[in-house]
Structure 1
């Protein structure tokens, strides 16, 4: 985890690359159609310390805010 994560003026993290080896997907097909939007969506961790952030089609992290200390 970085000591001082890069943050924009409005509080969003500037990291776009996920932590190597942290990309994973969830399989919620056994839970039914209510959770179909979560099925096989890729999630990853950010170097700022935030976990389970959605990953875009290009392999970048979605816009997020770093965790509060």
Structure 2
């Protein structure tokens, strides 16, 4: 369970594969035209513990893992 992905020297997570079956879509259409650009944005969980948006190809965007307390 403690299998955290590697981190680059500048602090970014090296994982691009989302956790399977953990993708959700945010539909902000009802929030009005100002937030319409968020329409259809997809988010998924990374094994490092951070939830981030997905690229068009279904990969996780570049992100930093959550800070350890």
TM-score, scaled to structure 2: 0.89
List per-residue Cα deviations over 1:15-69 (Å, max 9, x = no partner).
0000011111111111101111111111111000002x11001110000000001
Matches within 5 A, 1:2-41: 2-41=2-41
Question: Please, which runs of 5 or more residues in structure 1 have no aligned partner?
Answer: none
TM-score, scaled to structure 1: 0.89
> Paired residues, what number?
68
> Which protein has the bigger strand share?
2
Aligned-residue Cα RMSD (Å) equals: 1.3
| Residue pair 2:4, 2:47 contacting (<8 A) in 1 also | no
